[in-house]
Amino acid sequence: MQFTAEQIAGFVQGKVEGNPATVVNQLSKIEEGKQGSLSFLANPKYNQFLYSTDSSIVIINETMTLEKPVNATLIRVKDAYTAFAMVLTAYQQTKEANRKGISEKAHIDPSATIGNNCYIGEFVFIGSGAVVGDNTRIFPQAFIGENVKIGTNCLIHPAVKILDESIIGNHCTFHSGVVIGSDGFGFAPQQEGDFQKVPQIGNVIIEDWVELGANTTIDRATMGSTILRRGVKLDNLCQIAHNVEVGENTVMAAQSGVAGSTKIGKNCMIGGQVAINGHITIANGVKLAAKTGVSNSIKKENDIQMGIPSFDQKKFVQSFVIFKQLPDLAKKLHALEKDFKSKNAENQTE
């Protein structure tokens, strides 16, 4: 495939600066650019590479001021990162456009319903009563349980497990190893010291445009539903427990976990390795720094917290400044204590 600067600019609603007929046929990072490749520049840390790259076309922010001439043809846009994401999406869709058809090695129950233009790879299992929407692609070794509903234009990567009764919206992407609808962690302590398993008879509901990273797990509800609202994005190795609800457009970085029955608001941003207690609520727009431990509800919208247990970010930073000074403060305190005892002893001898 080949595209000109003029064609790309039209696609990303940008303005060409240089030769509009410049042609590219591949993508590359700006620091590794080659002739015939398209790159982008959004992070100022990489500005230096704009003047040395061999990339033929570079997408940059319209506000960027050049320090010296560049060899590449430029495409100026409002947001270079978003524009390049659009290009990557189109590239991926074009690359996968030929993945259609149902493999003879897939098992599809006769009662299941498969939409138009779907791709079902080798060794996929689709159970009784399942529904797969139009243009959905399911890669090899995925498991789709009984009465699962999957919407249109979804992408199910290899070895994903979507267990019975789960409901999936449109335009969802699940990366390899995702498990949706496994049992919630429910055990009732017994007088003898052992535990009685509590059956998990609910399900999982995932709305449109949700993306789940590799090996992320979403547990089914004890009763009712575990719910991920529209636009939720979870990184790799995240854990969402039974009866949790995650609000619209909330994002969560890798290795974070949410305990049972917690309700997280919309537009929240949760860093890596964050632990959130069960049976609490997180308000809309809350931001949690990496490694934060949330033990109580956060009721203030757009609050920023960090630490274990979590509290206001500004207060945490102020406290941490003092914390780093504790060894010196301890030395001063011990010196003052020693001086005080010495002077007190002198006064007593007098």
- For 37-50, what is each residue's pLDDT tens digit? 999 999 999 999 99
Contact of 263 with 244, CB cutoff 8 Å: yes
What residues contact residue 249 under an 8 Å CB cut-off, 6+ apart?
229, 230, 231, 232, 233, 266, 267
Contact of 141 with 127, CB cutoff 8 Å: no
Phi, psi of 55 (to 5 degrees): -60, 140
What pLDDT, on the 0 to 100 scale, is given for residue 342?
A: 78
Instruction: Classify 214 as helix, strand or coil.
Output: coil
What pLDDT, on the 0 to 100 scale, is given for residue 350?
A: 60
Mean pLDDT for 173-182 is: 98
What pLDDT, on the 0 to 100 scale, is given for residue 240?
A: 98
Mean pLDDT for 136-150 is: 98
Mean pLDDT for 299-306 is: 96
Contact of 74 with 18, CB cutoff 8 Å: yes
Cα 243 from Cα 132, distance rounded (Å): 25
Residue 129: pLDDT band by 50, 70, 90 thresholds? very high
What pLDDT, on the 0 to 100 scale, is given for residue 18?
A: 96
State pLDDT tens for residues 55-65: 999 999 999 99
What pLDDT, on the 0 to 100 scale, is given for residue 90?
A: 84
Lowest mean pLDDT, pick from 55-59, 130-134, 324-328:
324-328
Asked whether the predicted pLDDT for residue 77 surpasses 90, the reply is yes
What pLDDT, on the 0 to 100 scale, is given for residue 96?
A: 66
Contact of 286 with 252, CB cutoff 8 Å: no
Write out the CATH class of domain 3-95: alpha beta
Write out the CATH class of domain 160-309: mainly beta
Cα 35 from Cα 57, distance rounded (Å): 9
Q: Which two tokens stand for residue 181?
A: 């609808």
Quick one: how far is CA 25 from the chain centroid?
A: 30
State pLDDT tens for residues 219-270: 999 999 999 999 999 999 999 999 999 999 999 999 999 999 999 999 999 9
Cα 222 from Cα 239, distance rounded (Å): 16
The residue type of 267 is: N
* Residue listed under structure tokens 């496994």: 182
In the chain, what are the domain boundaries? 3-95, 160-309, 316-349
How large is the C-alpha radius of gyration of the chain? 27
Residue 110, preceding bond cis, omega within 30 degrees? no
Phi, psi of 149 (to 5 degrees): -115, 120
* DSSP β-bridge partners for residue 227: 205, 245
State pLDDT tens for residues 80-123: 999 999 998 888 777 666 678 999 999 999 999 999 999 999 99
What pLDDT, on the 0 to 100 scale, is given for residue 320?
A: 85
Contact of 278 with 260, CB cutoff 8 Å: yes
CB-based burial label for 230 (10 Å; 0-12, 13-18, 19+): middle
Q: Annotated catalytic sites, by residue? A: 242
Phi, psi of 77 (to 5 degrees): -135, 170
What pLDDT, on the 0 to 100 scale, is given for residue 17?
A: 96
What pLDDT, on the 0 to 100 scale, is given for residue 323?
A: 84
Mean pLDDT score of the chain: 94
What pLDDT, on the 0 to 100 scale, is given for residue 211?
A: 98
